[in-house]
Amino acid sequence: MAQLTEFFTRLAKRPPASQMAGAKVSTLLIEVAGADPEMALRRLDSSAEGLLDREAEDRLLAYGPNAIVQEQHKSPVRQLISHFKNPLNILLLTLSVLSFYLGDKEAAVIIAIMVALSITLTFVQEYRSSNAAERLRAMVSTTATVLRKDRRSGVPDEVNRYFNIHLTPHGPQRREVPIDTLVPGDVILLSAGDMIPADVRLLGAKDLFVNQASLTGEALPVEKFTTAEAGDRKDPLGLGNICFMGTNVVSGTASAVVVLTGSKTYFGTLAQMVSEERPLTSFDRGINQFTWLMIRFILVMTPLVFLINGFTKGDWMEAFLFSMAVAVGLTPEMLPMIVTVNLGKGALAMSRKKVIVKRLNSIQNFGAMDVLCTDKTGTLTQDKIILEKHVDIYGHESEDVLEYAYLNSFHQSGLKNLLDVAVLEYAGLNDQLRVGANYRKVDEIPFDFQRRRMSVVVEGKGRHLLICKGAVEEVFSCCTHAEVNGESIALDPSHLEKLVQVTRELNEDGFRVIAIAYKETLPTTTTYSIKDESDLTLVGYIAFLDPPKDSAREAIAALHRHGVQVKILTGDNEVVTRKVCHDVGLKVDRILLGSDLASLTDDQLAEAAEHVMVFAKLSPAQKARVIKALHLRGHVVGFMGDGINDGPALKTADVGISVDTAVDIAKESADIILLEKSLMVLEEGVIEGRKVFGNIVKYIKMGASSNFGNMFSVLGASAWLPFLPMQAIQVLTNNLLYDFSQTAIPTDHVDEEYIAKPRRWDIANITRFMLMLGPISSIFDYATFALMYFVFRATTQGDSSLFQTGWFVESLLSQTLIIHIIRTGRIPFIQSRASLPLVLTSITICTVGLWLPYSPFAHALGFTPLPLQFWPYLVAILIGYLTLAHLMKSWFIHRYGLN
């Protein structure tokens, strides 16, 4: 009974799992990494046999499931509603409601339809593009092999007898369990091909290589071992006895104890960063700035029109309805539709090039981008290790070295690592080396982490050959001779400097270097051991590289020609990065390391980021920080990446681009996904983005300047005339027809000089253009007023219809035709012609405008037929307006630039 009491007392004193739940990722990992396996198990309150079932259940309640947070995706209804939050849409819907309650139902319906159509187009495009993005969980396997003890196997015999339980003694059981049920303290088993299901501390390992490329950017797998290691809290990925969730086992086997699960893992922290709210991009900020510019303008102009007409005409209701019509006329209600159609057209053009546009506004950001930051591995490079060189000890190409390497890789047992696969693939292209398969394997001396080399013994041509490959310094230590051109020379200290120089040069060029050596042995020997790895003859080296994509150099050069600066942000080391930059044509004067960023303030980093082209050994957060620093300097920044570690940077950038081989978390964070391996589509995307932006700006400049000029004219006419210069229904009809004429803008051509360099939102420039060109249109409006008032004697209330009709026709035609002046920096109709759809819509609307005073709708709209003498005057006014507008536009571009 005393033993029973002691057992329950021990259970009560057991530290609850929740005591470890608040530990920081780096702190706990550093602690268990620095302890030996036994101490690490004790720290996690576990044992080498694993947890009891009930312990695992308790910890699952304390920690929660081993699942990573995902970006919160809105339901279709919420996603649709969110598009109504745009301030321009809110303004338009408010005007629609007011118009409806004031009895102007036609205007209300027209405005509401425009808003609804724009929102629907945007929603459908984005919903269809992002529907398949919820795949963060797919980054890890669905089950894990875990050691668990039976519910009662850890209970003392006295307890079992007390409860009349009879058990057959047995040890821990191997079980396949869902990874979301793993808890800290679980002991798991790993083998080649397994995805690491949590952040784990190795307890035992044999020839374990883990691919961490998706987290670090390093293409080559890294060796993992079990010995205690003092790690750097700032760089947990450098811990040699810790494996991280989301990485995968390339070769070897291991047992490990789970340290961190779910959102507390390194992978989980990245997923949380990705799931945060996306910051406003350059395009979003530009649209919002223009929208608020127009809203402020409307808030000033509308009350002025209302008060002037109310006091001068005496009819306050008529004045209110007219001011409401003026507000609608000032509002660029077609802007959402023009923007959406432009972006949709760009997305369609990109889809033909096998590019998925997940977020429509990213197309414009693509064109506005003046800095493209890119990861190295898998984006600029092929993310595939290839054998690049096989050289003798002096660095000259040697077929003998390749043959020895091939024999070693071909005959070694077990899973071939990436380097062996690269050797076999390279040698397989050489018919002469296929005779290597005719050699018979005699024995093998396996690889281990202490020796860092392995050997195979083969029999052929009447001899036994022991062929050794491994780390350069470890193979050096076993060699007494070297072979050059078939001649053997004794190695002495005088050769060492030359040998080291060759390998150093290869390393500095970014190669992973493996030494190859051999010796002949007695054919009667059948068993070999480590002691036989002595008195070897060094024959040379094989060098491996993750090569650049074929299109990388050409794509970077094309981007440079279009004014886009390319910067490298990688987690890989600076030596390999420098080599890749050289291969793709990027000049590298200075490399800034992740360790250097910690000591820099945001302003200092922003200054450095202006001039530094390459950043290496960066953590995911540091990549995002560099992009934010570039934002501080006013850059529109794109980021291209493919790994888990690229998620935060992809989301921080104005436009995130992922490639065909990217992991799902990168594709989810990206705005644009390239499905083809060629990077030349980057240039096409930049050009398409600039075309989209150019056509959007055409509408904005034209609409803003025309509306401003019209309302400037309205103010003067309202103060001067004894009647309204245009009836409310006429203002709305004019606005509707004019807007329809602009629907073809997305089809228009964009001049080559406009797409030659990045274009971005410049509200100050748009405002200047509006203030300059608006009054010019007013000059000719006032000329029309004078024509109708003094020439055609439309001076009284009874003549108001003639006056209003004349201004309606002049206003509609001048607004419709001015797009052909504004759309290009060249001479219109001669050096630059509009697209056929834009020409046709312009002709159609002008024709309708000329027809309406004589149409059956004339009476309902308040129009009256115009005298024949009016038309020559109108032609002169239009020619004068278009000529002066072109001259002022040319001066404006010369003074302020093309934007």
Active-site residue set: 375
Cα–Cα distance measured from residue 201 to residue 226, given in angstroms and rounded to the nearest whole number = 8
In this structure, is the dihedral angle defined by the CA atoms of residues 732, 733, 734 and 736, taken in order, positive or negative? Answer: positive
Token pair for residue 854? 């004589």
Cα–Cα distance measured from residue 801 to residue 805, given in angstroms and rounded to the nearest whole number = 6
Residue keyed to tokens 């990388």: 552
Going by C-beta distance under 8 Å and a sequence separation of 6 or more, which residues neighbour residue 869?
791, 792
Residue keyed to tokens 């001011």: 323
CA 168 to chain centre: 57
Q: Are 470 and 451 a contacting pair, CB within 8 Å?
A: yes
Backbone angles phi, psi at 755, to 5 degrees: -90, 5
**712, 332, 399, 718: which is closest to 539 by C-alpha?**
399
Cα–Cα distance measured from residue 319 to residue 484, given in angstroms and rounded to the nearest whole number = 100
DSSP 563: T
Backbone angles phi, psi at 813, to 5 degrees: -70, -40
Q: Are 540 and 403 a contacting pair, CB within 8 Å?
A: no
Cα–Cα distance measured from residue 281 to residue 293, given in angstroms and rounded to the nearest whole number = 18
Q: How far separated are the first and last CA of the chain, in Å rounded?
A: 89
What's the chain's length in residues?
A: 899
Cα–Cα distance measured from residue 238 to residue 802, given in angstroms and rounded to the nearest whole number = 83
Q: Are 43 and 239 a contacting pair, CB within 8 Å?
A: no
Q: Are 442 and 465 a contacting pair, CB within 8 Å?
A: no
- Write out the H or E segment, with its range, that includes residue 615: strand 614-616
Cα–Cα distance measured from residue 236 to residue 345, given in angstroms and rounded to the nearest whole number = 46
In this structure, is the dihedral angle defined by the CA atoms of residues 146, 151, 154 and 157, taken in order, positive or negative? Answer: negative
Q: How many degrees, rounded to 5, is the angle at CA 491 between CA 489 and CA 493?
A: 145
Cα–Cα distance measured from residue 499 to residue 481, given in angstroms and rounded to the nearest whole number = 12
**572, 567, 569: which is closest to 587 by C-alpha?**
567
Cα–Cα distance measured from residue 535 to residue 457, given in angstroms and rounded to the nearest whole number = 15
Cα–Cα distance measured from residue 476 to residue 491, given in angstroms and rounded to the nearest whole number = 10
- Write out the H or E segment, with its range, that includes residue 575: helix 574-583
CA 733 to chain centre: 44
Neighbours of 632 (CB within 10 A): 13
Beta-sheet strands, E only, within 331-439: 355-357, 371-374, 386-391
Cα–Cα distance measured from residue 270 to residue 647, given in angstroms and rounded to the nearest whole number = 7
Q: Are strands 143-149 and 51-52 parallel, antiparallel or unpaired?
A: parallel
Going by C-beta distance under 8 Å and a sequence separation of 6 or more, which residues neighbour residue 350?
357, 363, 672, 681, 684, 685, 688
Q: Bridge partners of 544? A: 387, 512
Backbone angles phi, psi at 211, to 5 degrees: -90, 115
Backbone angles phi, psi at 617, to 5 degrees: 55, 45
Determine the 3-state secondary structure of 464 from DSSP.
Answer: strand
Beta-sheet strands, E only, within 601-753: 614-616, 637-641, 655-658, 672-674
